[in-house]
């Protein structure tokens, strides 16, 4: 049995399958060096097998943004637990008790000789003495009936036994807010409280003056309308909270690999059981408490548990791993000893609740808009209140029969108070209509709707603000492998023995020694694994796509130390001084042969192949460090290498990626490819994907190498950043520099990434997009959105959804402001001129419900259209209310105000009601005004769908929610007019009056078409006023 020392070293970079692609010659002492390398040291000696440092990486401590409150809570709980433990130890010592770390009695856990308490006492206390008494990790694995190499059997019966004995890897969630809590929140609205008080007073006075049968209508109607508003608002908010809760649960559902029955399978973190064997790689989260089986320079970031940012190195002296921590460096395998609430992480997570109260920048802006409109509405309501009260108490207000309502000294106190309460109710209701509480609701609705639909489009939103920010994205810096390409690699070309092998897997062309060395290098210098089923079927290869491809190729091809290297072909080749020819002879690498190999690499790169070179060198055993600690910090010799083979791997472009890139370019979003691949490979793929139109374009700075960009000053980088389309041989640090340069130039940048070292770039970008399949947990936690299928087409869908969020909010603002302006102007003019208002409190509350909750539901859930991608990105500082919106809403509001005021003052003669009784005529006129006003809003809701398009019905039948809400509103309006007159102070209308109402509403459609023909200036109105104010100030300053 040969003795293997193997060292696989690299830098924390983008994709695991790109690890061979970076520059190779970095040393351990340079933590931010971008060189990519794979090294394997194999010592062939009989007797034993020892593996060293199989996945060496450089240390890089990330400065990630943390949620400070959550961190503080975790630290406090952790500190409390440690304090309690210390107090018990102190008390025991004070009582003179001897605290022994003797082996606990092996209590049986059903099928297993060891119980959960014994496992917990070992892992929680980090008790190495007790661990040794159990026989170390091997002894624990025997007690748990686990094979340290093949894992557990993993059948249903086995998993059930383990869950029954040790629990599942889940923890109880804190109960979310109940529906009644949302009801209570809705009740706390000040305007609704005032209305409820007014309703109660009106109810009491009405019953007192008119009796129980007739007197409850006015007060009861207002109370019912208020309760309806409260219930609908609470239901809407409660449904959104459930959606956000489900999305948060999806974020916590991490998928990872475990070894069961000798093979690696992917499962949910919730499916882990005690006894599972789990491979750990850089960037992973430790999914449960456990003990290290084997580790290669394994370093764990335990800051999430201890609060200290110190990186802890794990080995046989300190083998205990805590759930929730992150792998900062190296790799290894662990045996799970505690899951769920039996881990400290589980206890912490059960004691804190997920905060879904994030407020996005758009919500903040809209709150400001809502506050301003509310202040205007409040001012108008105060004016109306003062005017109406003055008219009432001065004897200028008459009832429906023409009688003066208040006569000083003659009118009863109860009647006077009743009249005053009705006036106050109208004023308060105007405030209810004027305060656009639907604006924040519309944002919540559209964000929740977008998040849910984006999940179906393979995008998991981690931060709400990212939804809207994507609508402003001007640049996307995308990875190549797995995002623009399929991430399915195969070896299609190979050079070994100094010549090209055709086909590449032809074993007969390889000499015995070369074949043996290649198998050695391919099989040992890898993070992949090969599983041979017992039935002897086809072998299964796992690992990153590059590793899998080379392992498949290796499987097809079948007293000193060997150091094996694998990495970017031109970098490894530069370190080679010899090669093995077809006769197993070591031949010096002369200039001619070096040129021929470089030519082969260039030819493969031109065909968009990824080139990987495999090399080795011999080393004296006595020069190998003797101890594990020394070997962990040993800089491996990287000169005088012997070239074994150069292979070219094909990773085809994803279907449809060219169309997606073209769609981005057309919509004003520049796509830049940032890859660790050879510049020539990157160039070929960029042309294939449509990022470059032709190879003739591929000149600097359009295509640039990472090291060239890195060597520039900030000013130079700023100058060329916008021109760059492709960056090859780049490191995550280069990507970070590019993002910073673009942001300094005013771009809104979206970045894709999946490696641990991508975290700074993901954090720096306006929108960080982590890859769901290839991405590490560290990258995902630094991102705003996780692309679940690693596909660039999904990134483009996210851009569409981002624009849709803005578009839907703008549709709703246009609709709501039209109602606001019309309702306020009509009531104010009528109140000031005649002392009465055509729209009473109950009617206004119904309009408020249509305008706010139902309007938000209808317009905020419009799906994105292709038309959104015909526009440029939404400017960050662009006003929410555009010139087009101002034009549309002012035209509609002026039309509604004009028609309804004419009806208010000349309605009796126009409708032919001059011969009717005064009381009945006024009621019919006011009912028609109310009906026409509501129907105008329903028709205008269609206009709001397409603010800048003529065809307002495009796609309307596909939006079932919109059609349902419009239909429901029409049905309820008919019921209100025809059957609920006593509640709403309306009367039934005949068919002619219904037809008049419908025609008034219908005219808004052709009017909108005519309005859209009116051109609007490109400069926002806000800017025009700002410039005007600035010009006025200049002469004043000069004087």
On the question of a cis peptide bond just before residue 313, with omega within 30 degrees of 0, the verdict is no
Tokens 């395998």 correspond to what residue? Answer: 333
Strands 311-313 and 289-301: antiparallel
Q: What's the first-to-final CA gap in the chain, in angstroms?
A: 97
Q: Is 677 a catalytic residue?
A: no
Which residues face 586 on adjacent strands? 580
How many CB atoms are located within 10 Å of the residue 964 CB?
Answer: 12
Q: How far is CA 478 from the centre of its chain?
A: 17
Tokens of 24: 């190779």
- State how far the alpha carbon of 1019 is from the alpha carbons of 653, 814, 873, 1023, 1025, in Å: 42, 19, 16, 7, 10
> Using CA atoms, how far apart are residues 385 and 391, in angstroms rounded to an integer?
10
Q: What span, in angstroms and rounded, lies between the C-alpha atoms of 734 and 751?
A: 13
Report in angstroms the alpha-carbon separations of 118 from 45, 148, 272, 337, 978: 40, 20, 19, 10, 75
Instruction: Provide the total of helices (H) and of strands (E) in the chain, helices listed first.
Output: 37, 27
Between CA 831 and CA 833 the distance in angstroms is: 6
For 687, other C-beta atoms within 10 Å of its C-beta total 19
Output the CA torsion sign for 356, 358, 362, 368: positive
DSSP 331-344: EEEEEEEE-GGGSH
Q: How far is CA 852 from CA 236, 464, 828, 831, in A?
A: 11, 22, 21, 24
CA–CA dist 177, 200 (Å, integer): 30
Omega before residue 701 within 30° of 0, cis? yes
CB 498 within 8 A of CB 581: yes
* Paired strand residues for 461: 785
Scan for tokens 């007159």, then name that residue. Answer: 981
CA distance 32 to 40: 22
Q: Which of 17, 170, 457, 479 is catalytic?
A: 479
Which pair of structure tokens corresponds to residue 326? Answer: 């992150």
Within 293-437, residue ranges assigned H as helices are 303-306, 344-351, 361-393, 413-434
DSSP string, 744-808: HTT--EEEEE-SGGGHHHHHHSSEEEEETTT--HHHHHH-SEEETT--HHHHHHHHHHHHHHHHH
Among 478, 482, 500, 483, residue whose Cα is nearest residue 491: 500
Compute CA distances 455 → 128, 360, 361, 363, whole Å: 45, 19, 22, 22
Give ∠ CA 31-35-41 in degrees, rounded to 5. 95
Q: How far apart are the C-alpha atoms of 234 and 228, rounded to whole Å?
A: 10
Pairing assessment for the beta strands 561-568 and 609-619 based on DSSP bridges: antiparallel
* Tokens matching residue 291: 């003990």
Nearest to 852 by CA among 243, 449, 435: 435
Token duo for residue 660? 């997606």
DSSP state of 173: P
Give the CA distances from residue 644 to residues 92, 500, 567, in Å, rounded to whole numbers and listed in that order.
65, 12, 12
Contact indicator for 15, 282 with CB cutoff of 8 Å: no
Q: Supply the DSSP symbol for 814.
A: H
The catalytic residues are 479
């Amino acid at each position: 049995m040969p003795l293997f020392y193997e060292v696989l070293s690299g830098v924390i970079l983008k994709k695991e399958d790109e690890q061979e692609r970076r520059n190779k010659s970095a040393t351990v002492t340079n933590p931010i060096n971008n060189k990519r390398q794979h090294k394997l040291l194999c010592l062939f000696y009989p007797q034993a097998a020892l593996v060293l440092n199989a996945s060496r990486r450089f240390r890089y401590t990330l400065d990630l943004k943390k949620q400070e409150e959550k961190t503080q809570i975790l630290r406090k709980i952790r500190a409390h637990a440690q304090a309690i433990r210390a107090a018990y130890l102190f008390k025991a010592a004070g009582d003179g008790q001897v605290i022994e770390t003797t082996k606990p009695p092996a209590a049986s856990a059903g099928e297993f000789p060891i119980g959960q308490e014994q496992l917990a006492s070992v892992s929680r206390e980090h008790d190495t003495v007790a661990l040794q008494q159990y026989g170390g990790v091997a002894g624990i694995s025997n007690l748990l009936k686990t094979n340290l190499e093949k894992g557990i059997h993993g059948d249903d019966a086995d998993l059930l036994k383990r869950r029954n004995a040790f629990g599942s890897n889940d923890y109880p969630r804190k109960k979310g807010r109940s529906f009644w809590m949302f009801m209570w929140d809705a009740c706390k609205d000040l305007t609704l409280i005032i209305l409820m008080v007014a309703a109660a007073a009106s109810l009491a006075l009405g019953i007192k003056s008119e009796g129980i049968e007739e007197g409850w209508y006015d007060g009861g109607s207002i109370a019912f309308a208020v309760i309806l508003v409260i219930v609908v608002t609470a239901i809407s908010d409660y449904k959104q909270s459930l959606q956000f809760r489900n999305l948060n649960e999806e974020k916590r559902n991490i998928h990872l690999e475990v070894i069961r029955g000798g093979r690696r399978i992917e499962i949910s973190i919730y499916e882990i059981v005690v006894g599972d064997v789990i491979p750990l790689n850089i960037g992973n989260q430790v999914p449960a408490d456990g003990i290290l089986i084997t580790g290669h320079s394994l370093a764990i970031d335990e800051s999430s548990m201890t609060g200290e940012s110190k990186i802890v190195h794990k080995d046989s002296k300190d083998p205990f791993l805590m759930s929730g921590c992150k792998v900062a460096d190296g790799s290894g395998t662990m045996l799970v000893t505690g899951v769920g609430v039996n881990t400290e992480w589980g206890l912490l997570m059960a004691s804190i609740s997920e905060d879904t109260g994030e407020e996005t920048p758009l919500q903040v802006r809209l709150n400001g808009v809502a506050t301003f409109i509310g202040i205007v509405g409040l001012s108008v309501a105060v004016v109306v209140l003062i005017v109406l009260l003055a008219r009432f108490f001065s004897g200028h207000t008459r009832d429906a029969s023409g009688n003066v309502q208040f006569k000083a000294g003659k009118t009863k106190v109860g009647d006077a108070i009743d009249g005053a309460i009705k006036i106050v109710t109208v004023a308060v209701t105007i405030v209810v209509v004027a305060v656009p509480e639907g604006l924040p609701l519309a944002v919540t609705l559209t964000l929740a709707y977008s998040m849910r639909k984006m999940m179906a489009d393979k995008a998991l939103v981690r931060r709400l603000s990212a939804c809207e920010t994507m609508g402003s994205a001007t640049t996307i810096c995308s990875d190549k492998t797995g995002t623009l390409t399929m991430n399915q690699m195969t070896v299609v070309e190979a050079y070994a023995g100094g010549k090209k092998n055709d086909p590449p897997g032809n074993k007969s062309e390889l000499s015995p020694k070369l074949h043996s060395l290649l198998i050695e290098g391919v099989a040992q210098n890898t993070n992949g694994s090969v599983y041979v089923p017992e039935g002897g079927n086809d072998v299964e290869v796992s690992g990153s796509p590059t590793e899998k491809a080379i392992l498949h190729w290796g499987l097809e091809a079948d007293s000193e130390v060997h150091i094996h290297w694998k990495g970017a072909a031109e970098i490894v080749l530069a370190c080679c001084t010899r090669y093995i020819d077809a006769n197993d002879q070591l031949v010096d690498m002369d200039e001619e042969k070096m040129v021929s190999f470089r030519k082969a690499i260039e030819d493969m790169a031109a065909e968009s192949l990824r080139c990987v070179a495999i090399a080795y060198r011999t080393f004296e055993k006595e020069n190998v460090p003797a101890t594990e600690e020394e070997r962990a910090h040993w800089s491996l010799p990287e000169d005088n290498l012997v070239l074994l083979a150069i292979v070219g791997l094909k990773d085809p472009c994803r279907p449809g990626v060219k169309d997606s890139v073209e769609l981005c370019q057309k919509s004003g979003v520049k796509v830049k490819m940032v890859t660790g691949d050879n510049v020539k490979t990157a160039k070929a793929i960029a042309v294939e994907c449509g990022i470059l139109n032709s190879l003739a374009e591929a000149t600097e700075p359009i295509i640039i190498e990472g090291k060239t960009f890195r060597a520039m000053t900030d000013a130079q980088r700023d100058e060329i950043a916008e021109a760059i389309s492709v960056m090859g041989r780049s490191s995550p640090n280069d990507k970070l520099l590019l993002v910073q340069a673009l942001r300094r130039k005013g771009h809104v940048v979206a970045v894709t990434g999946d490696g641990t070292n991508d975290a700074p770039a993901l954090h720096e970008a306006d929108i960080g997009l982590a890859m769901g399949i290839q991405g590490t947990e560290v990258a995902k936690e630094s991102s705003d959105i996780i692309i679940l299928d690693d596909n660039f087409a999904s990134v483009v869908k996210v851009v569409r959804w981002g624009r849709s969020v803005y578009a839907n909010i703008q549709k709703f603002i246009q609709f709501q402001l039209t109602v606001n302006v019309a309702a306020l102007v009509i009531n104010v003019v009528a109140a000031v001129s005649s002392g009465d208002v055509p729209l009473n409190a109950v009617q206004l509350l119904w309009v408020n419900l249509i305008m706010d909750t139902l309007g938000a539901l209808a317009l905020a859930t419009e799906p994105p259209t292709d038309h959104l991608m015909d526009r440029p990105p939404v400017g960050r500082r662009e006003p929410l209310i555009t010139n087009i919106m101002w034009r549309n809403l002012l035209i509609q509001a002026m039309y509604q105000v004009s028609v309804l005021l004419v009806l208010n003052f000349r309605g009796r003669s126009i409708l032919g009601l001059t011969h009717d009784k005064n009381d009945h005529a006024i009621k019919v006129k006011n009912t028609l005004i109310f009906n026409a006003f509501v129907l105008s809003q329903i028709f205008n809701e269609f206009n709001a769908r397409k603010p800048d398009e003529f065809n307002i019905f495009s796609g309307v039948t596909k939006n079932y929610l919109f059609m349902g809400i419009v239909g429901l509103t029409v049905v309820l309006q008919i019921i209100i007019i025809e059957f609920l007159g006593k509640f709403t102070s309306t009367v039934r209308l005949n068919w002619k009056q219904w037809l008049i109402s419908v025609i008034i509403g219908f005219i808004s459609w052709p009017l909108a078409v005519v309005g859209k023909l009116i051109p609007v200036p490109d400069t926002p109105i806000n800017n025009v006023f700002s410039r005007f104010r600035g010009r006025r100030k200049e002469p004043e300053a000069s004087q």
